[in-house]
C-alpha cells in the first residue's frame, strides 16, 4: 500500500480482507491481537492518507469458533479510500452481507445513491424466459393448459397474440413462484443476520441451520438466472 501511494496521486480505494484491525474494539471474543500489529496497520493507513468509509450491518466480518467453545468475531474486511476518491463518490456506502458457508462475510461497496439504483431496477423490460422456472414441476402443465385454452391461430397475428398471452401468464406465474427469489433471499439473509447478531451466542441454532439451507436453495435458483 505504501509503495502504491508513493508511485501515484490518483483517487484510489482499497477493499477486502486486511487480516488486521485498527482498534481493539473491532474484535469480540478471546485471542486478543497484539498492539504492535494494530499500530503497524494504523501507520500504513495514515501514510497512505486513507480513511475508513464506515459500514452498515454486523459489527464484524469474520466469525470462527475457537478452543473453549467461544466465538471470536473480528472486523477484518473493510473499505479504505483516499479523500479524492471520496470526493468523486460522495454517496458511497459499504454493507456487511451475510455468508452461509464461509467464516468471512462478503462486503458490498455501492457508489451510487439508493434512489438511482432503485429507479434502474424499476425500468420496464420485455418478456424473458427464466431457466430457473424449469426447477418447478408446475411449469409444463401451465404451458400446456394456457396454450390449450387459448384461441385457435388462423394468422400470424393470432399466433403473436397467443404467444403474448402465454408470456403474460408465465410472467405472472413466475413472479408468484419465483418472483420472489431475490426478495426471499433478502428476507432470509436478514433473518440469518439477526440470528447471528447476538455477540453472546456460542453455538449454531437449529433455526440458523434451516435458514442456511433455504439460502443455499435460493442461491442455486438465482445462479441459474445469472447463467442465462
pLDDT of res. 120: 44
Q: Which of 61-65, 77-81, 110-114, 193-197 has the lowest mean pLDDT?
A: 110-114
Q: What is the mean pLDDT of residues 83-103?
A: 87
Conformation bin of residue 31: beta by default, left when phi > 0, alpha when psi is -120 to 50: left
The alpha carbon torsion through 109, 112, 114, 118 (nearest 10 deg) reads: -110
3-state secondary structure of 199: coil
Phi, psi (degrees; rounded to nearest 5) at 154: -115, -5
Residue 68 has pLDDT above 50, yes or no: yes
Topology at the third CATH level for domain 2-114 = Deoxyribonuclease I; Chain A (3.60.10)
Domain ranges in the chain are 2-114, 137-177, 181-227
Question: What span, in angstroms and rounded, lies between the C-alpha atoms of 171 and 154?
Answer: 25
Q: Each residue of 124-134: pLDDT tens digit?
A: 457 777 777 78
Question: What span, in angstroms and rounded, lies between the C-alpha atoms of 129 and 113?
Answer: 30
Residue 108 has pLDDT above 80, yes or no: yes
Q: Each residue of 44-64: pLDDT tens digit?
A: 999 999 999 889 888 899 998
Residue 118 has pLDDT above 70, yes or no: no
Q: Each residue of 142-193: pLDDT tens digit?
A: 888 888 887 787 777 778 788 888 888 888 887 777 666 777 888 888 888 8
The pTM (predicted TM-score) of the whole model is 0.59
Amino acid at each position: 500500500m505504501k509503495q502504491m501511494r508513493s508511485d501515484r496521486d490518483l483517487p484510489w480505494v482499497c477493499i477486502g480482507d486486511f487480516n488486521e484491525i485498527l482498534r481493539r474494539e473491532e474484535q469480540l471474543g478471546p485471542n486478543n491481537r497484539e498492539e504492535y500489529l494494530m499500530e503497524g496497520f494504523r501507520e500504513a493507513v495514515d501514510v497512505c492518507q486513507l480513511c475508513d468509509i464506515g459500514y452498515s450491518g454486523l459489527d464484524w466480518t469474520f466469525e470462527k469458533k475457537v478452543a473453549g467453545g467461544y466465538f471470536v468475531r473480528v472486523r477484518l474486511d473493510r473499505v479504505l479510500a483516499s479523500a479524492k476518491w471520496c470526493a468523486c463518490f460522495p454517496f458511497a456506502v459499504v454493507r456487511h452481507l451475510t455468508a452461509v458457508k464461509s467464516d468471512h462475510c462478503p462486503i458490498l461497496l455501492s457508489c451510487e445513491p439508493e434512489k438511482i439504483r432503485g429507479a434502474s431496477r424499476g425500468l420496464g423490460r420485455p418478456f424473458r424466459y427464466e431457466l430457473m422456472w424449469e426447477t418447478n414441476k408446475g411449469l409444463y402443465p401451465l404451458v400446456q393448459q394456457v396454450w390449450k385454452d387459448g384461441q385457435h391461430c388462423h394468422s400470424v397475428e393470432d399466433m403473436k397474440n397467443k404467444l403474448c398471452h402465454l408470456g403474460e401468464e408465465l410472467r405472472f406465474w413466475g413472479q408468484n413462484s419465483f418472483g420472489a427469489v431475490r426478495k426471499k433471499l433478502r428476507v432470509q439473509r436478514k433473518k440469518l443476520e439477526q440470528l447471528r447478531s447476538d455477540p453472546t451466542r456460542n453455538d449454531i441454532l437449529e433455526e440458523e441451520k434451516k435458514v442456511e439451507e433455504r439460502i443455499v436453495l435460493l442461491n442455486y435458483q438465482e445462479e441459474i438466472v445469472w447463467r442465462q
